């Protein structure tokens, strides 16, 4: 986005946020006090404190930045993270700084309305920015690609030739032969690239994808780019054979490459996820379990002999076993720890069939979430026997145990749930779980929970038995 438009977007976003905070403040005043403005002037001190705090969080999280490769869910996740900090920091500051007792109803109403409005407001702005970028051909960054391999070819097709990302390829330079749609972009050999850049000063970004044997030429390109205000992106040669995500850290200026990105290794992310687990679990227990649990318990006891709950040892985070709780959906049998439920399984009771089809048999795992053995969202925990079996049969299967298991997960909303009839079924489930671990963010968890509710109530699952 050009600087002039970026400044306009920042100004509009900033003004909108402050207006929304003001609206939230006055609505909360009407809800609590019945008037447009609070009677006590001390509430205005709180209002100005909120505005300062939000400005600081905007700067801290860089909330108004619109990257070239725009993923709306990731940007909204960053805004949601800032809003959570806003709620907890403002509550903490009120508690520690002042003895004045603000109304809890006023506080909760203001922050809830403000949070909701900010997410809606930011979504509208991002959709507008994405749509404008697609239509406004003057907002494109001219790009030169130097070197070609399979990864950069996929990147070109998925990103650089898609107008919504705001790039325009003006040339590809390689000594190799280019086939297909990219052939039209070839402008010459590797050695001709610098001369082309000299003649086309509008190019402000280059992407280099060359093998280590070209290190001398790569350094020439980097030197030229640095001296001509050209930004450089490098797709390293090992990306050709390294398919999994990785990250690079620097210790004493020495690059260390980690072969898996794990957002949940961050303490702040773990605190956010745990906070959401606790809040949602308590909400479900108070507003759902208090009436649903007794009803289901009575139905289970009336339709079959045995306990209401079924506890089974399953593999948890770091492969530590834990007792996973469910509503009993089968007759008491000796094979429950060995055999998965199959279609028309004679062990499943009549009420159990309903519980399994609607996933209500999993509800007691909310207590596992409170006990910190599980999370609301994560890879589904498997029986110990299956963990031992599939760790040998499925490549990278154990990676899914880097995260706490979940009541629901990314694999489940993709349809990989229930019986795993073949090793391929488990491979798909494991790959989906690993993708979740490597791409976690708070908005992804919320998306999975909403999709889970939709599937339970409105979509029939063939594997739900």
pLDDT at 137: 56
Which among 462, 219, 209 is positioned nearest to 343, based on CA atoms? 462
pLDDT at 84 over 80: yes
pLDDT at 1 over 70: no
pLDDT at 242: 54
Within a 13 Å sphere around the CA of 45, how many CA atoms are in the beta-carbon half?
10
**Per-residue DSSP letters for 123-183?**
HHHHHHHHHHHHH-GGGPEEEEEES--HHHHHHIIIIIT-GGG-EEEEEEE-SS---GGGG
Hey, how many other C-beta atoms are within 10 angstroms of the C-beta on 197? 21
Give CA separation, 27 vs 6, 80, 91, 284, 383, in Å.
Answer: 31, 21, 19, 28, 51
Q: Are 393 and 441 in contact (CB under 8 A)?
A: no
Backbone phi and psi for residue 113, each to the nearest 5 degrees, phi listed first: -65, -45
pLDDT at 4 over 60: no
Q: Are 329 and 353 in contact (CB under 8 A)?
A: yes
Is the Cα dihedral 152, 157, 159, 163 positive or negative? positive
Higher pLDDT: 84 or 241? It is: 84
CATH architecture assigned to 140-243:
3-Layer(aba) Sandwich (3.40)
pLDDT in tens, 215-256: 899 999 999 999 898 999 888 766 555 555 667 777 767 777
227 by Cβ neighbours in 10 Å (0-12 / 13-18 / 19+) ranks as exposed
Mean pLDDT of the chain: 86
Distance CA(347)–CA(335), nearest Å, equals: 10
Which residue ranges make up each domain of the chain?
A: 3-135, 140-243, 267-458
Within a 13 Å sphere around the CA of 82, how many CA atoms are in the beta-carbon half?
26
Distance CA(91)–CA(71), nearest Å, equals: 31
Contact residues for 116 (Cβ-Cβ < 8 A; gap 6+): none
DSSP 8-state class, residue 286: I
Helix intervals (H) in 312-349: none
Q: Per DSSP, what are the bridge partners of residue 312?
A: 324
Distance CA(204)–CA(178), nearest Å, equals: 24
pLDDT in tens, 154-166: 777 777 777 767 7
pLDDT at 155: 77
Higher pLDDT: 89 or 417? It is: 89
Which pair of tokens denotes residue 404? 């706490």
Percent of the chain having pLDDT more than 70? 91
At 136, the pLDDT band (50, 70, 90 cuts) reads low
Provide mean pLDDT across the span 102-121: 93
Distance CA(185)–CA(188), nearest Å, equals: 9
pLDDT at 2 over 60: no
pLDDT at 67: 74
Q: Are 380 and 342 in contact (CB under 8 A)?
A: no
pLDDT in tens, 327-347: 999 988 877 766 777 777 788
Contact residues for 309 (Cβ-Cβ < 8 A; gap 6+): 325, 326, 327, 328, 364
pLDDT in tens, 363-400: 999 999 999 999 999 999 999 999 999 999 998 899 99
């Amino acid at each position: 986005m050009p600087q002039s438009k970026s400044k306009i977007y920042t100004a509009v976003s900033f003004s909108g946020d402050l207006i929304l905070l003001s609206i939230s403040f006055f609505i909360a005043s009407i809800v609590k006090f019945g008037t447009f403005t609070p009677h006590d002037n001390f509430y205005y001190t709180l209002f100005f404190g909120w505005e300062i705090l939000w400005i600081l969080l905007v700067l801290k999280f860089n909330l108004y930045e619109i990257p070239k490769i725009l993923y709306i869910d990731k940007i909204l996740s960053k805004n949601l993270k800032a809003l959570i900090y806003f709620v907890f920091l403002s509550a903490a500051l009120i508690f520690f700084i002042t003895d004045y007792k603000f109304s809890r109803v006023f506080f909760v109403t203001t922050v809830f309305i403000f949070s909701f409005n900010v997410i809606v407001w930011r979504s509208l702005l991002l959709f507008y920015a994405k749509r404008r970028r697609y239509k406004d051909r003057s907002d494109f960054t001219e790009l030169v690609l130097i070197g070609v391999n399979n990864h950069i070819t996929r990147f070109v097709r998925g990103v650089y030739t898609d107008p919504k990302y705001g790039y325009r390829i003006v040339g590809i330079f390689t000594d190799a032969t280019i086939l297909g749609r990219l052939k039209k972009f070839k402008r010459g050999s590797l050695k001709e690239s610098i001369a082309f850049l000299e003649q086309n000063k509008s190019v402000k970004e280059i992407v280099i994808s060359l093998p280590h044997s070209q290190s001398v030429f790569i350094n020439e390109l980097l030197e030229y780019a640095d001296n001509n205000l050209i930004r450089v992106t490098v797709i390293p040669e090992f990306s050709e054979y390294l398919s999994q995500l990785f990250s690079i850290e620097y210790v004493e200026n020495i690059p260390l490459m980690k072969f898996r990105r794990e957002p949940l290794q961050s303490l702040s992310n773990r605190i956010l996820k745990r906070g959401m687990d606790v809040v949602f679990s308590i909400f479900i227990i108070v507003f759902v379990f208090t009436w649903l649990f007794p009803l289901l318990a009575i139905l289970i006891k009336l339709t079959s002999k045995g306990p209401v709950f079924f506890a089974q040892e399953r593999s948890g985070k770091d492969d530590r076993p834990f007792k996973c709780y469910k509503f009993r959906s089968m007759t008491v049998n000796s094979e429950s720890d060995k055999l998965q439920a199959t279609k028309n399984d004679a062990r499943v009771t009549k009420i159990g069939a309903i519980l399994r089809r609607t996933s209500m048999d999993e509800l007691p795992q909310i207590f596992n979430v409170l006990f910190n053995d599980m999370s609301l969202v994560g890879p589904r925990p498997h029986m110990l026997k299956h963990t031992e079996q599939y760790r040998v049969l499925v490549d990278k299967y154990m990676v899914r145990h880097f995260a706490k298991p979940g009541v629901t997960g990314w694999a489940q909303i993709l349809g990989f749930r229930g019986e795993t009839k073949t090793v391929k079924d488990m491979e798909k489930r494991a790959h989906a779980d690993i993708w979740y671990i490597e791409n976690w963010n708070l908005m992804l968890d919320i998306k999975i929970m909403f999709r889970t509710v939709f599937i339970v109530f409105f979509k029939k699952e063939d594997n739900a038995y």
